[in-house]
Chain A
Amino acid sequence: MVNYLIRRLFSMTIVIIVSSFLIYMMLNLAPGGPLWELTQAGSSRESALTREDYARLEKMLGLDKPMHLRYIIWLAGDDWLDGGTRKGVIRGDWGESWRVAQGMSVMELISSRIGNTIILSGAALLLSLIIAIPVGIIAAVKQYSKLDYALTAFAFFGVAMPVFWFGLMLILVFSLQFKAWGLPALPPGGTESLFGPDQGSFLDRLQHLIMPAIVLSLFQTASWSRYMRSSMLEVLKQDYVRTARAKGVIERLVITKHAVRNALIPIVTVIVLSLPSLFNGAVITETIFAWNGMGRLYINALTRGDYPVLMIFLLISAILVVAANLLADVVYTFIDPRIRYS
């Protein structure tokens, strides 16, 4: 196992370095760029950007150097190269934001959003698990019953429902209509109230969390419940489930101890591989509900050409995806005694 982990960590490192290089090149070769916005600004003489201005700005952002050198500087800094001040990503210098929050360090920028994203994505993940697994089990145990059809219909609804529309409908009903009817209403968005006696309290935050968490978890819940159902159906057909019944094990234990434990094995992979969303956030849900998370930061950085932020975001995402894969493999050895790595 230790040998296996060392081997995997080594190959992971290579994958990450290669992907960081590809990400860097793709971002920098794409049309647009951080100064694109400025070139669009000038329609009048007063605000037009001159060629000298452009060159000066490029130099200031370090864009005047050749691409491969820029990558090396980004990765390893330039203090050893030409006496610059940058230490490079691998030595913890993530750089400063160019556009989203000029002058703010990327580390600070990301840490200002990551908490909210972990709360939202984590809540959605938890909600999905709490609902999807029992729903999948029930649907499989009662296969072809009316309940199964109802749960299947729910799953199709969840998978097919566009997030933005569903979110909008929830806001319309639970925030606006409920308020119009004089019922207690949920806040339409944001992470906390800006004024009022409960501002920032746990309950206040919880209320703000409910709708986005439901919207974000809907698709996941629906698809996971289908995975769980089919995995469960697979297991229920197995001889060892019949063996358990023949032993005289009570039905509830046959389902939970014998069937569910085995049916969960493939589901764990799906769940572990979705863990990077705790960092990445959810662009659409965060946007509809004005949730100040990583997804919004990402899309903002993307549209405004804020490369330092984008690069760190994409790099961490890549690392997390690779790490989640390793984690899934390691978790497997714990839950499935048949699997051993060497």
Chain B
Amino acid sequence: MANPQDTALIEVRGLKKYFPITQGIIFQRKVADVKAVDGLNFAIKKGETLGLVGESGCGKSTTGRAILQLYRPTAGEVIFQGKDLVKLQGEELRKMRRNMQMIFQDPYASLNPRMTVGDIIGEPLEVHNIAKGKEKKERVQELLKIVGLNPYFVNRYPHEFSGGQRQRIGVARALAVQPDFIVCDEPISALDVSIQAQIINLLEELQTKFNLTYLFIAHDLSVVRHISDRIAVMYLGKIVELTDRNALYNNPLHPYTKALLSAVPIPDPVVEEKRERIILVGDVPSPVRPPSGCHFHTRCPLVMDKCKKDDPEFRNAGAEHWVACHAV
């Protein structure tokens, strides 16, 4: 990947999303920011799946939403199909949504309880003038078939389905407009373990079939490893390591990545026996006042004086293995 722009479907530069904290009863003034996403740089190639992992509250979901402009970023650029989404407004942005969709974490809350499955899946077709009337209905039934649901379910309401079926509805809805890029925001973490594999398989199947590009957000490293081509590791609003999935799992460079990987159980009793767990001390610091220098220095086993002062540069440590650590 010598020149990412050549093949990148989407490129994120310096993406920041701060949420203001206000105080006061009548006149509210801003007293601080929650720095949920604090300067991200990465690109996703066409047809690729980029996994995004990190602990809860590190800014993964915010990143996904900020890319799709569901949260308007505080700063940065999101170049998608040659356009900077951050600068797009209103109708232009709305039209772009045809090409980028999202699958949400909670299959219960993300479907409007007062709309039928047919309306939920068919609505994007209508708003983007793709299909109407009978054509729309046929298309919806086809989509249901694609995601493995009975096409006669169109007139049912979401509450009549199980969690896995609902997530299939969510997938069908995302697929309806034939997007190029889908943000999968922890699509399986709310599901039973038995269902998780079905959805993962469905997503992979669809990726091949429709040449989709995924940003796959998860906190479960093993699932991410299974589905992703490359993986980015986030800690407190920043990416600390980004590389090919095998490189990451075989040769993690950042001490945080190492700690995360050490927590993953290995399905081999012998190896598992020897697995050395790196236990991180302390809690994740507040994103309102992140630590100076390297955000990870408060919990890093390799902490040096330098880490407390300087924010390490996100650099290529060779073979497109990007890492932000003074110790590497």
> Which residues of chain A have a CB within 8 Å of any CB of chain B?
144, 149, 238-240, 242-250, 253, 258, 261-262, 335-338
Contacts and interface: CB of A to CB of B under 8 A. Distances in A.
B110 interface: yes
Contact of A247 (B106, B109, B113, B127): B127
Contacts of A338: 113, 157, 159
Nearest to A237: B109
**Interface of B, helix, strand, loop or mixed by DSSP:** loop
Given A239-B104, A243-B111, A337 B159 contact: yes
Interface of B: 22, 26, 28, 65, 68, 70, 94-95, 97-98, 101-102, 104-106, 109-115, 123-124, 127-128, 157, 159, 170, 173, 177
A263 to B, nearest CB: 11
Contact of B113 (A144, A246, A337): A337
A247 B104 CA distance: 12
A337 B159 CA distance: 8
Contacts of A262: 112-114
9 contacts: A243-B104, A245-B70, A247-B101, A247-B123, A247-B177, A248-B97, A258-B112, A336-B114, A337-B113
Given A239-B110, A242-B70, A249 B123 contact: yes
A243 B114 contact: no
Given A242-B65, A248-B98, 12 more contacts: A239-B104, A239-B105, A242-B70, A242-B110, A243-B102, A247-B127, A247-B177, A248-B95, A248-B124, A248-B177, A261-B114, A337-B114
Contacts of A253: 127
Contact of A246 (B28, B101, B128): B101
A250 B177 CA distance: 15
What are the nearest 8 A-B pairs in CB distance?
A: A248-B97, A239-B110, A239-B109, A337-B157, A240-B112, A247-B124, A338-B159, A246-B102
Nearest to A240: B112
B143 to A, nearest CB: 13
A242 to B, nearest CB: 6
B104 A242 contact: yes
A258 B124 CA distance: 13
Contacts of B111: 240, 243
Nearest to A153: B26
Given A238-B109, A338-B159, A246 B68 contact: yes
A12 B115 CA distance: 33
Nearest to A259: B112
Contact of B110 (A149, A240, A250): A240
B60 to A, nearest CB: 16
A322 B54 CA distance: 54
Contacts of B112: 240, 243-244, 258, 262
A261 B26 CA distance: 30
A246 B173 CA distance: 10
A144 B25 CA distance: 10
Contacts of A246: 68, 70, 97, 101-102
A258 to B, nearest CB: 6
A247 B124 CA distance: 5
A244 B121 CA distance: 11
Contacts of B106: 239
Q: Which interface residue of A149, A337, A338 has the most chain B CB atoms within 10 A?
A: A337
Contacts of A238: 109
Q: Which interface residue of A240, A246, A253 has the most chain B CB atoms within 10 A?
A: A246
A335 B101 CA distance: 29
B50 to A, nearest CB: 19
B94 A243 contact: no
B97 A247 contact: yes
A247 B114 contact: no
A70 to B, nearest CB: 52
A338 B160 CA distance: 8
Contacts of B177: 247-248
Contacts of A247: 97, 101, 123-124, 127, 173, 177
A335 B114 contact: yes
A245 B65 CA distance: 11
Nearest to A261: B114
Contacts of A250: 94, 127
A249 B173 contact: no
